[in-house]
Amino acid sequence: MGNALFSFTRAIGSAGLALALAGCPGEPPSEPRERVAAPSGTTLADKQWLQPLDASEPDVWLASRSAGRDLAVGDPAVAEWRAILADADARFGEDQRMIANRAVQLETMLREIDIKEGVRELLAGFAPFAGKGSRSGFSDLCQHYYNLRSQGLTRVAALDLLRQQAPPGTPPAAAGPAGAQP
């Protein structure tokens, strides 16, 4: 009986100590173990990127971003973006969501160094570097392009250099300059 009484007393004492420590004034509340970023925008058009579990479709997102307002799936602008992303998806190893996110990220990074190139323009400029079915690396291409542009190369010069540096077997770029925009 003495053993049981001792165990009971110890349990009560431990519980009391835990309650006292939990309610100490001046103690900051414990932080959650995982921090979750707040959504970047309240509308689809305002989103900075698509989260992996975001149910939004990349074509609707890009069309909405371009329009500056949320568009419905049936909007003709969404169909245009769907075709652009399907073409990119057939060429690059990343899926449409990743391609859309990377292209928007590149557009943002370029804007930060005062270069105005849109997602549509970037995708059109990169398409000749990857033949359909090649599954080339879109993210790598974005990084190389950004590095060249941040070094002061024009759009045409950067795309020409990327074309020259393409590994053997990469399809040649379409005839003519890839765009005359600096």
Q: In the predicted model, is pLDDT for residue 104 greater than 60? A: yes
Confidence tier at 1 by pLDDT (50, 70, 90)? low
Averaged confidence pLDDT in the chain = 79
Instruction: State CA 58 to chain mean position distance.
Output: 11
Confidence tier at 131 by pLDDT (50, 70, 90)? confident
Q: In the predicted model, is pLDDT for residue 24 greater than 80? A: no
> Which pLDDT score is estimated for 3?
53
What's the whole-number mean pLDDT along residues 139-147? Answer: 95
Using alpha carbons, list the distances in angstroms from residue 139 to 66, 79, 143. 21, 24, 6
Structure tokens at 121: 């323009």
Confidence tier at 112 by pLDDT (50, 70, 90)? very high
CB neighbourhood size of 7 (10 A): 10
> Which pLDDT score is estimated for 2?
55
What's the whole-number mean pLDDT along residues 147-156? Answer: 97
Confidence tier at 134 by pLDDT (50, 70, 90)? confident
> Which pLDDT score is estimated for 23?
42
What's the whole-number mean pLDDT along residues 150-173? Answer: 81
Ordered alpha helix ranges (H), the chain: 2-22, 58-67, 76-91, 96-112, 119-126, 138-150, 155-165
Per-residue model confidence as pLDDT tens digits over 28-73: 444 444 333 444 457 999 999 999 889 999 999 999 999 999 999 9
What own/partner pairs with CB < 8 Å and gap ≥ 24 does 150-157 have?
A: 150/113, 154/181, 154/182, 155/117, 155/125, 155/179, 155/180, 155/181, 155/182, 156/180, 156/181
